[in-house]
A and B are shown apart, each in its own frame.
Chain A
Amino acid sequence: MKPGSVAIVGAAETTELGKIPGMSQIQLHADAALNAIADAGLKITDIDGVATAGESPTAIAHYLGITPKWVDGTAVGGCSFMLHVRHAAAAINEGLCETVLITHGESGRSGVGRGGFRGAAASLQGQFEAPYGIMGPPSLFTIPFLRYMKETGMTLEQLAMVSVVQREWAALNPRASFRDPLTIDDVLNERMIAWPFTKLQCCLVTDGGGALILTSAERAQDFPQKPVYIIGTGESVETPMISQMEDFTTSKAFRVSGAKAFAEAGISHDDVDHLMIYDAFAHLPIYGLEDLGFCERGEAADFIWERNTAIGGKLPVNTNGGGLSYMHSGMYGMYALQESVRQMRGTAPAQVEGAKISVCHGVGGMFAASGTVIMSNEQP
């Protein structure tokens, strides 16, 4: 933190304090937020960063109608909000966002719309999605895709091709869970999970883990491994409810995160040698290619069909085999990052020769959140 470089320009409590049985916990956050925004003389649309604890920053941002470029859900107990201030100061200094809203609300006494088991049924998803037989990501993440198909003309065979191509990459990777070749018919004839998605279009469920250690570029030279520089980053959230996604054919969180990362890195798409797109389901690389700007809307299916992302293609994608064939423990993003690092070090089983820039793009929840990291083995 640079002394005096960031200031608090709005501050307020909830309109009432004490016993407020007429407000749920999330509305307490919003009430305080609207008061603070008014205190600062701002509009909601002036806010481009959100930090909170106790509720998810996704829920708070969507509830208030904010499209953030920076979020912090650091939840470490009662001092979380002090940490949020510190992180926000760093983020602002770094240019990640300009105006950060930090919220707290807790229905500690009345217990209205509070977290935990009871909170689940009182949450907006608990009220407006859970009653309809939802069964985790396979039944939710997949819902937007039929709309994408109708609007772009993409076919089920083209969706199957995503799994086929990634299996080809997995075949080169001794650590991949599945390495046997697949045909489009194999994919289409597998057990149906959530029509039109078969089992081979849904990610694996496996055990595993990973870790990264980061340090300053200055110090990085003194370590035994070849440094991998972070040259651009982005993040955003959209909504905790898939039914409330703004546009079923494109992820707003992807677009905001990707554009920010590319702008920070100062690179064009032609500069990218290697791409990872978190593939919890087979349509994710389609959305990712378009929302990151590698393809125009409706062109990603042909791009994959024509083998541009396959071995020998001009843009190798998910070279470890991805969540569809390599592994997926539940939070796959770490494995995508590990593969980008391997590619930049030149040590990947399916190494892209001469690769200098890797884009690693992740999703959180069901198109709920996104983060993008652009790495390079050359210091800009």
Chain B
Amino acid sequence: MADKSKIPLPQPTPETQHFWDGAKAGELRLQQCNDCSAVYFPPRPFCPTCGHREVSVIRASGKGKLYSYIINHRPHPAFDGPYSIAVVELDEGPRMMTNIVNTPQAPESLTLDMPVVVTFESMSDDISLPYFEPAANQSASANGEGKS
């Protein structure tokens, strides 16, 4: 049985705290340069495109697409059987690592560029991790068909 306590939890720093506060509140947060408008991730208090120090925290749509992944077949105590380690490209541009959840962990159900949406799971009092699931799951849910 998967033991979620075996997941190494992030330790926020002053520059990333807003991201983890957002995750706790069910929001995916990115940053945007006040000068050149670049949206970026991971967090840092200056723009990696132009070096400007005035930046804003923005709430991302939570929507993106599956950019690339592998299915890890080596056993990990926090996972049951093979699992995806994926990178999603957010609609706002930045990419981030995640697991694609709530769908079979098989190439047939994990097609590149399929739409995905963020979903959060509480791991401790302080940390909720962002995961992504197929957008089709949530639209099915909205249609009253329930999650698989």
Contact = CB atoms under 8 A, between A and B. Distances in A.
Interface of A: 21-24, 27, 30, 34, 37, 43-44, 62-65, 112-113, 118, 120-122, 124, 126-135, 138-140, 142-147, 150, 191-197, 241-244, 248
A144 B97 CA distance: 11
B59 interface: no
Contact of A145 (B44, B68, B71, B76): B68
17 contacts: A27-B14, A34-B53, A44-B50, A122-B13, A124-B16, A127-B10, A128-B42, A130-B8, A131-B8, A132-B99, A133-B7, A138-B72, A144-B68, A145-B70, A194-B71, A194-B73, A243-B87
A37 B50 CA distance: 13
Q: Is the interface of B mostly helix, strand, loop or mixed?
A: loop
B140 interface: no
Contacts of A133: 7, 72, 76, 78-79, 83, 85, 99
Interface in B1-43: 7-16, 20, 42
B70 A139 contact: yes
Contact of B51 (A65, A147, A241): A65
A65 B49 contact: yes
A19 B37 CA distance: 33
Given A134-B85, A138-B72, A193-B73, 17 more contacts: A27-B15, A63-B44, A65-B49, A122-B12, A127-B13, A128-B96, A131-B7, A133-B85, A133-B99, A134-B97, A135-B74, A143-B69, A143-B86, A145-B70, A191-B73, A193-B74, A195-B107
Given A130-B10, A131-B10, A243-B95, A142 B70 contact: yes
Interface of B: 7-16, 20, 42, 44-51, 53, 67-74, 76, 78-79, 82-83, 85-87, 95-99, 107, 112-113, 123, 129
B97 A243 contact: yes
A119 to B, nearest CB: 9
Contact of B70 (A34, A118, A195): A195
B61 to A, nearest CB: 19
A118 B16 CA distance: 16
- Ranked nearest first, the 9 interchain pairs of A and B with the lowest CB-CB distance are A127-B10, A65-B48, A147-B68, A121-B11, A195-B71, A243-B97, A24-B13, A194-B70, A122-B11
B10 to A, nearest CB: 4
Contacts of B76: 133, 135
B86 to A, nearest CB: 8
A260 B62 CA distance: 40
Given A121-B8, A132-B99, A195-B107, A139 B85 contact: yes
A121 B44 CA distance: 16
Contact of A43 (B7, B47, B51): B51
A138 B73 CA distance: 10
Nearest to B2: A133
B112 A147 contact: yes
A244 B42 contact: yes
A317 B96 CA distance: 34
A242 B79 CA distance: 21
Given A127-B42, A139-B85, A64 B74 contact: no
A322 B50 CA distance: 41
Contacts of A126: 8, 10-11
Contacts of A129: 97
Nearest to A198: B73
A128 B10 contact: yes
A124 B72 contact: no
Given A27-B44, A112-B14, A143 B87 contact: yes
Nearest to A118: B11
Nearest to B123: A131
B95 A244 contact: yes
A148 to B, nearest CB: 8
A30 B42 CA distance: 15
B70 A241 contact: no
A146 B70 CA distance: 8
A101 B72 CA distance: 39
Contacts of B69: 143, 146
B42 A241 contact: yes
Contact of B129 (A24, A37, A131): A131
A257 B15 CA distance: 31
A30 B10 contact: no
Contacts of A142: 70
Contacts of B20: 127
Contacts of B13: 24, 27, 112-113, 122, 127
Contacts of A64: 48, 51
Nearest to A135: B74
Nearest to B131: A132
